[in-house]
Amino acid sequence: MTLLNDIAGRYPQAVSFAAGRPYEGFYDTSSLPRQLRAFEEHLAKEAGLSPDDVRRTFFQYGRTKGVIHELIARHLELDEALTVDTESIVVTTGAQEAMVLVLRALRRDTQDVVLAAAPAYVGFLGATRLVDMSVRPVREGQGGIDLDDLTVQIRRARQEGLRPRACYVVPDFANPSGATMSLEDRQRLVDLAEQEDILLLEDNPYAFFHGGSLRLPTLKALDRSRRVVYFGSFSKTAYAGARIGYVVADQPVTRDGFGAVLFADQLARLKSMLTLNTSTVAQAAIGGFLVENGCSMERATRRVAAVYRRNLGAVLDGLEERFGSRSGFRPANAVSWNSPSGGMFVVVTLPFVADDAALERSAAEFGVLWTPMHHFYGGAAGFHQIRLSFSVLTPEQITEGLDRLASFAATGPRLDP
């Protein structure tokens, strides 16, 4: 992604559909002291801590599994109808640290591999590289991960002498594809994990940014046999800078000298070697955010979800206007796109190669940036696809950006002499 940042830096006037950053319009530094105080009061009044213990919670080395686990459990109950053992929650330095911990725990040697839909979130691929764990790609369609191909890939890996330990899935509005799994597929996936004896690593950063339709249950809510390890993040729902995420890991595992413990305890032991505990100051800030919103992130994200919904509509309508069957764009239907029902991303397919060189040309000659999809396929596919991210744009910028994109698309591939 360094190359993409470099291009973005060289064309500051370009409209950028490349930045996947959350919307910034509601940031307010005066919220921090208020939320820290709200968490302090929560500790004193609700949790019944002494003044010394309150101060200790803010400043001293803390509980490895975190100090806002009870507030997180309340949020999961309220917003996801998920009842979890608070001891199965590990609060982490963003969901990214949670992924690293889980993969590090699952990877005993090079025979242990993990599966993921291709295209995949680059942060997950980065975590696998950090712990030297191989990823086996699984096909993805409009409805998310292809379950038949998942079975094929699991069995193929086993035939090669490998141990497929888990499959990484983003069931709602995946990054980068925007795909959402049907209820039927969610149920089938949970059953498949049980049959094939693998874990599911469910990542759920975008669920509240639905297009207004009924939300489907998480995999964790359908999980009857503790097959699902659930990653949560406050980066999109509160703010990313805090770096507060968590993992729910309620699987029973055996730990030498301790007998049966929760997978969360095994993760905590690894965390004690990695970051000791998640910043208490950052936990307190997010804890106060939760308290202020009665632990409902659905409620907390209402304003920003409306922004994303408006922008998603503007992008989809704008694409139809410029490239749809009645748009006059020639050749007709040469440009296609998916229609996610929520989230922060739309994928557009172009009739020519849209790689880093094409992006450079798009930026220099047309003033519009986007992300080449091949980066999410590890460079193995997606060469005609681009990801449009619209989270930080205004409707006016979207209009202007799509006009520029249409001009770029109309020029077709540049033929080098």
Q: Do 95 and 233 meet the contact criterion of CB atoms below 8 Å apart? A: yes
List the one residue from 50, 272, 333, 411 that touches its own copies (CB under 8 A).
272
Contact call for residue 175 and its own copies (CB under 8 A): no
**How many CB atoms are located within 10 Å of the residue 382 CB?**
23
Contact call for residue 104 and its own copies (CB under 8 A): yes
- Choose one: 58-66, 134-142, 182-190, 356-364; the region binding its own copies (CB under 8 A): 58-66
Cis peptide before 119 (omega within 30 of 0): yes
Contact call for residue 382 and its own copies (CB under 8 A): no
* DSSP code of residue 118: S
Contact call for residue 88 and its own copies (CB under 8 A): no
Strand partners, 112: 163
| 392 token code pair | 């930080």
Contact call for residue 32 and its own copies (CB under 8 A): yes
**How many CB atoms are located within 10 Å of the residue 226 CB?**
16
Shortest CB 332 distance to its own copies, Å: 40
**CB of 105 or CB of 305, closer to its own copies:** 105
- Choose one: 24-32, 156-164, 169-177, 331-339; the region binding its own copies (CB under 8 A): 24-32
Shortest CB 224 distance to its own copies, Å: 32
List the one residue from 40, 80, 149, 203 that touches its own copies (CB under 8 A).
40
Shortest CB 261 distance to its own copies, Å: 11
Q: Which of residues 108-137 bind its own copies (CB under 8 A)?
A: 123, 126-127, 129-130
List the one residue from 16, 88, 93, 237 that touches its own copies (CB under 8 A).
93
What is the secondary structure of 240-252 as a DSSP string?
STT-EEEEE---E
Question: Given strand 336-337, what is the order of strands in its sheet?
Answer: 336-337, 345-349, 385-389, 371-372
What is the secondary structure of 345-378 as a DSSP string?
EEEEE-SS--SHHHHHHIIIII-EE-EEGGGGGT
**CB of 365 or CB of 396, closer to its own copies:** 396
Shortest CB 366 distance to its own copies, Å: 26
| 400 token code pair | 């202007």
| 177 token code pair | 């594809």
Q: Do 219 and 228 meet the contact criterion of CB atoms below 8 Å apart? A: yes
* DSSP code of residue 402: H
**How many CB atoms are located within 10 Å of the residue 163 CB?**
16
**CB of 278 or CB of 385, closer to its own copies:** 278
Contact call for residue 273 and its own copies (CB under 8 A): yes
Contact call for residue 29 and its own copies (CB under 8 A): yes
Map residue 21 onto helix, strand or coil: coil
Q: Which of residues 214-243 bind its own copies (CB under 8 A)?
A: 235, 239-243
CA distance 151 to 158: 11
Contact call for residue 59 and its own copies (CB under 8 A): yes
List the one residue from 7, 42, 94, 376 that touches its own copies (CB under 8 A).
94
Q: What are phi and psi of 125, to 5 degrees?
A: -60, -40
Shortest CB 257 distance to its own copies, Å: 9
Counting Cα atoms < 13 Å in the Cβ hemisphere of 158 gives: 12
> Which residues of the chain form contacts with its own copies (CB under 8 A)?
2, 21-22, 24, 27-29, 32-33, 36-37, 40, 52, 54-62, 93-94, 96-97, 100, 104, 123, 126-127, 129-130, 235, 239-244, 258, 270, 272-282, 285
